[in-house]
Amino acid sequence: MDILLIHPPTVLDAEQSKKSIMSSIMIGYGMLSIGAFLEKQGYKVEIFNIPYAYSLGFTEDNIFNLFKSYSPKLIGIELNWLQFSKGAIECAKKLKEIFPNTPIVMGGVNATIFAREILEYYNKFIDAIFIGESELTFLDYINNIENNGDLTKIRGILRKDENNRTRDQGPARIFKNIDEIPPYKLNIVKPRLIPPYDIGMINTCRGPCIHNCFYCIGNRNTYSTSLKSSRTNLDIHSPEWIVSQIQILLRDVKKLSIQDYIYCKPKKVLQIAKAMQKEGLDDKIEYFNFAALPGSLNKEILTALSKAGIDNIDFGVESGSQNILKIIKRPYTIPNVIDSIKSSIESGILPKTYWLVGLPFETESDIEKTKELIIKTIKLGALPKWVTPLCLFPGLELFENAKKYGIKLRLKKFQDFFTFSTTQRNIDSWYPSVITHETENFTINDILKKSLELKKFISTNSNLILTHQMNNLENYFKFHPKFDENKLIQRIKMVLSLLKYTFF
């Protein structure tokens, strides 16, 4: 093996990791793309999913004893999301003990956001932080190792020089034509995924969202600054590339998901849906999830997606208050939400809704408006899947200008966010340690109470939800005749049963 890529646990202790309040098993497709690209260059690459191995019964000792049999030239650790902060650092430290002469690098969204802090505190066992898109950075770095080259010439890294000074070596080299990045194969990941985690994530695009939602790190104003990317536009893979990625994934899984900014380019979505229909891929798919902004896709596009095999769609509605949506720069209206739900149902797609609490200037009245919209969407046939407190971190407009929005920040530094790694599930779903802020009107406890209040409100309307879901079954079967009614109802009941216990 030449390159070992690590998807870390939330914390290194296996039993504690299994109790994390946030999902830890899914790998970011950035690492999967890096692995696929490096394999294409002739390198032997393995991506090891530690939390998934834990779920299968592996212990920390099992895994790291296995690593001792490896001889990697380079080790990369993924740090994409907040819940992996502490686990990623612990993995780096333990791997450096095993491989003292092997460079260990870290990358991903949160590694990029907190790059300077991470390097300042943990440079004894982390040799560099890879900033932003990293396929070409990895290639340059491994070539440098093999040829004893000059590290100063590698773009896209933050490192300490021989005088312990931090060196920022500029934005990474990126692909102008993203179709040059090969589709990934799941067999690069160890251990092999089995149900219920056998789902293939499809990355359809790269670059900033065209909108400017104030709580999103990928919006058009923060993407280049917070994520330090030289990609200024949203670049979309060709329909042919996406179809190829789907075909490759279907060799190993029957469940797929697209969770990126493709909805920003509706015409492209339609082209992709028609390309999928042409290949007849829907016959091989058991579950296909898609994410979109309310109002972004019309009925023609939704119908095309449904015919292509997509059977459920996630809408981040966030709030039932038009005023709050305006404050956080959500680019749609309440009528857009209603129209999107109706069009999805009519197109044979189950719409799932997502809601936030702890938004700037949010009041009791706004929470009541959210309840009203939840009920309206339920009666149309929507399934409310998630209610979660808003999370704020560096780079976001609401973080950087918190006072302007009546926000008092609680978590500011990298190590503050270790609480997302260490906080464990409890029966009451009460997690004050991971509330990142207070608002002008809501304290930490208020935000938690309002989150639980909305969850309870949804749970008390479970029968209403099921009734309207049953009313729409005929339309689902019209577009997806292979659907099993019992499995579909079981899936809906599972969402409702898990709602109380999910945090984010």
Reported as a single tens digit per residue, the pLDDT across 3-21 is 999 999 999 999 999 999 9
pLDDT of residue 64: 98
Report the C-alpha gap between 371 and 388 in whole angstroms. 14
Q: Tell me the C-alpha to C-alpha distance, in Å, between residue 55 and each of 9, 25, 51.
A: 11, 9, 6
Reported as a single tens digit per residue, the pLDDT across 280-292 is 988 889 999 999 9
Contact call for residues 207 and 232 (beta carbons, < 8 A): yes
Q: Residue 487 above 90 pLDDT?
A: no
| 133-162 b/e (C-beta count within 10 Å ≥ 16 → b) | bbbbbbbbbbebbeeeeebeebebbbbbee
Report the C-alpha gap between 258 and 353 in whole angstroms. 16
pLDDT of residue 229: 86
208 preceded by a cis bond (ω within 30 of 0): no
Listed by start position, the domains of the chain span 3-168, 200-391+458-499
What average pLDDT does the segment 254-264 reach? 96
Reported as a single tens digit per residue, the pLDDT across 26-51 is 999 999 999 999 999 999 999 999 99
Question: What is residue 405's DSSP assignment?
Answer: G
| CB-based contacts of 52, cutoff 8 Å, min separation 6 | 7, 25, 191, 193, 197
Q: Residue 196 above 80 pLDDT?
A: no
Contact call for residues 142 and 74 (beta carbons, < 8 A): yes
CATH 3.40.50.2300, domain 3-168, yes or no: yes
Reported as a single tens digit per residue, the pLDDT across 456-468 is 999 999 999 999 9
What average pLDDT does the segment 261-273 reach? 97
Question: What is residue 126's DSSP assignment?
Answer: -
Q: Cβ of 25: how many Cβ atoms within 10 Å?
A: 17
Read off the pLDDT band of 414 (50, 70, 90).
Answer: very high
What average pLDDT does the segment 346-361 reach? 98
pLDDT of residue 397: 95
Instruction: Kindly give the residue spans of alpha helices, DSSP state H, lying in 154-259.
Output: 223-226, 239-249
Contact call for residues 87 and 11 (beta carbons, < 8 A): yes
Contact call for residues 185 and 36 (beta carbons, < 8 A): yes
pLDDT of residue 496: 92
Q: What is the CATH number of domain 200-391+458-499?
A: 3.20.20.70
SS (H, E, C) 283-352: HHCCEEEEEECCCCCCHHHHHHHHHCCCCEEEEEEECCCHHHHHHCCCCCCHHHHHHHHHHHHHCCCEEE
Report the C-alpha gap between 79 and 376 in whole angstroms. 39
Read off the pLDDT band of 359 (50, 70, 90).
Answer: very high
Contact call for residues 424 and 19 (beta carbons, < 8 A): yes
pLDDT of residue 223: 87
Read off the pLDDT band of 504 (50, 70, 90).
Answer: low
pLDDT of residue 338: 98
Torsion angle, alpha carbons of 366, 372, 373, 376, to 10: -170
Read off the pLDDT band of 369 (50, 70, 90).
Answer: very high
Contact call for residues 301 and 346 (beta carbons, < 8 A): no
Least confident window among 50-54, 164-168, 224-228: 224-228
Q: Tell me the C-alpha to C-alpha distance, in Å, between residue 283 and each of 279, 306, 326.
A: 10, 12, 41
